[in-house]
Structures are given as structure tokens and as C-alpha cells.
């Protein structure tokens, strides 16, 4: 159990972490998210007693780290995988760490096997790839068989096989009742690995809740509706009808409509009653990434702008089209649909009121994995926003576009490969 109370760190007049209070509980993987420079690493360093907090405190099992008896046997950490003397072999690096806490040398060979580095154990770590370095760092964290584990960006530079391995490792460590605290930028990873999320931005706590709650609190599902492009009056008509029925309509750039507040079958019925043909009616589920981006929009320190290439612009060959900007590049506000506001109706609330279609309008309610029987869809693995996502058999959208038929296999493909 890690507990931070009012944790604050200032470097000169810059405040890296401000008044952070949270608890990391045993038996679960707790994800630690935040934009670059938001204070994640500083917080981890304070947990490990490497930095002294300017105010507040952080304890592990009730002790500040520097007072913890036999700390390396209780806490294992991967902070910076490259923090290894390049001239030292992997085995000697681990051996020196093992000797610090009286761990026998055969444990070193054991963890080298666990992380898959036994073949290169006697090679200098200078020649290690990023992924091998990461494995070495994880080996160091596992060395003392600790009850509390901290990982800062553990999957950086790992290949897919390594990422899967780390994911399963985290889960199995948590399942053994250990406290696992993982920071990452990879939302897809966190969606699959973490049970609980702590989100910080600009050094302050933004959220401390379960992954499910986080997604439903920060993003709403919506339906994409497209009427025939050739008949704009149909679009007007449908918009009016939907608004009248209590839905919210937001026009999209390409002429489609984004509808919140109404279940899909209801939209189809409205269209049918109004004699409007539909070219598309597709469900969209918010991903953890969207929810995260929406929440941290205001707290991002380093934001990209459109590369104008001023002075570098080359003459386009005759007839060539200037490239279209990729959505999202320097366009704030594209992230996710607005979260349910007061006054606005949340679309597809997880606990549907009685009398409504079972299990929400899209089959699976807004939370991945919430509908029993429905395979837990990876909320992030959705390759394109147009792809229908929910494979749940319950209440398939009546007027679903042709893409509805292949939706089940498509969803299977997007299913995470975690075999646990």
C-alpha cells in the first residue's frame, strides 16, 4: 500500500507536483497517467525516497521509504531502464543490486531467466537494445520478490511479445496480492492492464477511480448518422426530428451527424417515421484514450502545432492536390464527444432505466466488458472510427448499415490477445 498525503515538490519557483493525495492498494494494477512533464516520474522518485518532498509525505506500508526496514526486499522499482553502467554485464549489474539486500546470487540467474535475458547475461549492457534494457530493469525490480512494485513506462521499446509478457506479469503480480503501480503513456496498454487509474496533470490530481468509471465519467458514446449526401433537406428533417425526440445533434465536417442521447433503434425509428433514408447508423464507443485526452486537454504542457514549413515549401507539381491535414494535427477539440453534462442527456447510460432496450441501446453498455456475455472489447483497438464496435448479440441495431454483418469477426480481431 502506497499512500501520498499532500505531496508537493518544487524545483525553484517551478512546482512539479502540487498537493497530491492518493492511495495505491494491493491486489490491483494501478495505472498512473499524465501528459509529459506532469510530474509522474517526480512522484515515483519521491515514493522511492530519491527526492525529498517540499511538503506532504508519501509512505509505503506506513513508512517513508528511507525509514523502511530492508527496503529492497519490500519495494522493487523500474525507473529508468538505461540507468545501468554500460560496461557492466547484465549479471554483474543485478548481482551488485542483489548483494545490497543479501539476496543470493542464484536469485539473479532466476530473474534473468524470468525476463528472458539468460543468454546475454554476461554481455555488457552497452550493446543492449531498448527492449533488452527494459527487461533488465524489470529483472532488477523483481529481484527482491517485493510486495510493492513501481514501474515507470515499463513497455517502452518492447516488442509485441514483450508487451504481452509485461501485461501478464503485472496482472499476475497484482493477482498475488502485491501492490503494482505503473505509469504509462500508452492508453491501450492501461485499458488492458490497469484496474484503477490515477491521472495527474500539471502535477495535480485529476482523477482517482477505476478504469470503468473513468471512461464513463469522461466520455459519452454517440451514434454517427448519415443521410444521403444528395438530399440535404433530409438531413435537416432528421436533425429536427431527433432534437424533438430529446436527442442532441452535432454536425460533423463530412456532413454526417453525431447524435447523443438516443439509442440506435430509436434513431432508426425516427428516421423511418420521417421517411428519411439512412446511409449510415453506427455506434461509437469512447476509448480510454479519448476519455484521457478530453480530461487532460487543459493540462498538456507540450502541444504540437501544424508544421507550416515556411520557406521550405516546394512547388507542387501541376495537378497535385495540397495534402489534407490529418485530423488532430494542431486541431484542438477533436478528441472525444463531450461528457454527459447537467441538462444534457448521457447517451447510453450504463444502468439503463427500466423499460428501455436491455443492456443499453448498443448491446454493450458504455463500459467495455460490462455486458455479461459480450466479449470485453478493447476500447482502444478500434482501428477506424467508422468500424462498428460492439459485438454483443443483444439488441443489434435494427437499421444497422451493411457493416453490421461483419461486425462480429471484426470485433474478434480487435479483441485483445491477452489470453488470461
Residue 36 CB-half CA count within 13 A: 4
Bridge partners, 59 (sequence order):
3
Nearer to other proteins, 73 or 415 (CB): 73
CA 292 to CA 287: how far, in whole Å?
8
Tell whether residue 70 is a contact of other proteins (CB under 8 A).
Answer: yes
Non-local CB neighbours of 108 within 8 Å, separated by 6+ positions: 91, 94, 95, 98, 143
Q: Of 350, 38, 335, 351, which Cα lies nearest the Cα of 201?
A: 38
Contacting other proteins (CB under 8 A), which of 24, 28, 29, 71? 71
Collapsing DSSP to helix, strand or coil, 208 comes out as strand
Nearer to other proteins, 85 or 277 (CB): 85
Q: Measuring CA to CA, how many Å separate 175 from each of 29, 193, 282, 327, 415?
A: 9, 12, 37, 40, 22
Contacting other proteins (CB under 8 A), which of 3, 51, 109, 110? 51
Contacting other proteins (CB under 8 A), which of 5, 15, 19, 82? 82
Give how many residues touch other proteins by CB under 8 A: 36
Ordered DSSP codes for 48-106: TTSS--SEEEEEETTB-GGG-TTHHHHEEEES-TT-S-TTSBHHHHHHHHHHHTT--HH
Segment interacting with other proteins, rule: CB under 8 A, options 31-39, 94-102, 221-229, 302-310:
94-102
Per-residue interface string for the shown chain with other proteins, residues 128-167, x marking contact by CB under 8 A:
------------x---------------------------
Tell whether residue 79 is a contact of other proteins (CB under 8 A).
Answer: yes
Tell whether residue 95 is a contact of other proteins (CB under 8 A).
Answer: yes
Q: Cell 529483472 belongs to which residue? A: 139
Tell whether residue 88 is a contact of other proteins (CB under 8 A).
Answer: yes
Tell whether residue 65 is a contact of other proteins (CB under 8 A).
Answer: yes
Least gap, CB of 132 to other proteins (angstroms): 16
Contacting other proteins (CB under 8 A), which of 8, 59, 89, 188? 89
CA 179 to CA 74: how far, in whole Å?
10
Tell whether residue 100 is a contact of other proteins (CB under 8 A).
Answer: yes
Q: What is the binding site for other proteins (CB under 8 A)?
A: 45, 48-52, 65-68, 70-72, 75, 77, 79-80, 82-89, 92-93, 95-102, 140
Amino acid at each position: 500500500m502506497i499512500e501520498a498525503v499532500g505531496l508537493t515538490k518544487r524545483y525553484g519557483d517551478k512546482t512539479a507536483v502540487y498537493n497530491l493525495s492518493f492511495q495505491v492498494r494491493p491486489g490491483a494494477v494501478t495505472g498512473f497517467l499524465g501528459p509529459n512533464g506532469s510530474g509522474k516520474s517526480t512522484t515515483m522518485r519521491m515514493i522511492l525516497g530519491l527526492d525529498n518532498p517540499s511538503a506532504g509525505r508519501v509512505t509505503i506500508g506506513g513508512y517513508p521509504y528511507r525509514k523502511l526496514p530492508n527496503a529492497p526486499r519490500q519495494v522493487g522499482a523500474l525507473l529508468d531502464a538505461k540507468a545501468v553502467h554500460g560496461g557492466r554485464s547484465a549479471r554483474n549489474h543485478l548481482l551488485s543490486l542483489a548483494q545490497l539486500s543479501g539476496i543470493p546470487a542464484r536469485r539473479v540467474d532466476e530473474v534473468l531467466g524470468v525476463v528472458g535475458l539468460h543468454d546475454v547475461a554476461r554481455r555488457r549492457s552497452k550493446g543492449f537494445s531498448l527492449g533488452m534494457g527494459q527487461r533488465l530493469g524489470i529483472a532488477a525490480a523483481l529481484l527482491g520478490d517485493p510486495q510493492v512494485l513501481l514501474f515507470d513506462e515499463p513497455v517502452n521499446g518492447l516488442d509485441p511479445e514483450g508487451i504481452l509478457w509485461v501485461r501478464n506479469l503485472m496482472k499476475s503480480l497484482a493477482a498475488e496480492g502485491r501492490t503494482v503501480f505503473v505509469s504509462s503513456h500508452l492508453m491501450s496498454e492501461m485499458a488492458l492492464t490497469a484496474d484503477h487509474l490515477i491521472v495527474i496533470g500539471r502535477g495535480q490530481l485529476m482523477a482517482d477511480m477505476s478504469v470503468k468509471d473513468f471512461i464513463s465519467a469522461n466520455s459519452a458514446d454517440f451514434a454517427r448518422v448519415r443521410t444521403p449526401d444528395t438530399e440535404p433537406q433530409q438531413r435537416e428533417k432528421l436533425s429536427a426530428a431527433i432534437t424533438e425526440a430529446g436527442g442532441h445533434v452535432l454536425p460533423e465536417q463530412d456532413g454526417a451527424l453525431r447524435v447523443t442521447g438516443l439509442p440506435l433503434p430509436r434513431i432508426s425509428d425516427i428516421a423511418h417515421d420521417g421517411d428519411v433514408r439512412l446511409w449510415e447508423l453506427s455506434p461509437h464507443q469512447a476509448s480510454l484514450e479519448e476519455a484521457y485526452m478530453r480530461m487532460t486537454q487543459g493540462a498538456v504542457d507540450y502541444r504540437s502545432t501544424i508544421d507550416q514549413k515556411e520557406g521550405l515549401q516546394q512547388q507542387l507539381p501541376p495537378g497535385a492536390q495540397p495534402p489534407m491535414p490529418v485530423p488532430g494535427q494542431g486541431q484542438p477539440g477533436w478528441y472525444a464527444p463531450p461528457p454527459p453534462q447537467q441538462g444534457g442527456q448521457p447517451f447510453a447510460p450504463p444502468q439503463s432505466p427500466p423499460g428501455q432496450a436491455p443492456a443499453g441501446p448498443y448491446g454493450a453498455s458504455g463500459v467495455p466488458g460490462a455486458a455479461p456475455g459480450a466479449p470485453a472489447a478493447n476500447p482502444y483497438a478500434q482501428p477506424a472510427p467508422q468500424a462498428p464496435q460492439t459485438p454483443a448479440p443483444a439488441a443489434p441495431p435494427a437499421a444497422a448499415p451493411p457493416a453490421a454483418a461483419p461486425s462480429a469477426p471484426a470485433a474478434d480481431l480487435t479483441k485483445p490477445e491477452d489470453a488470461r
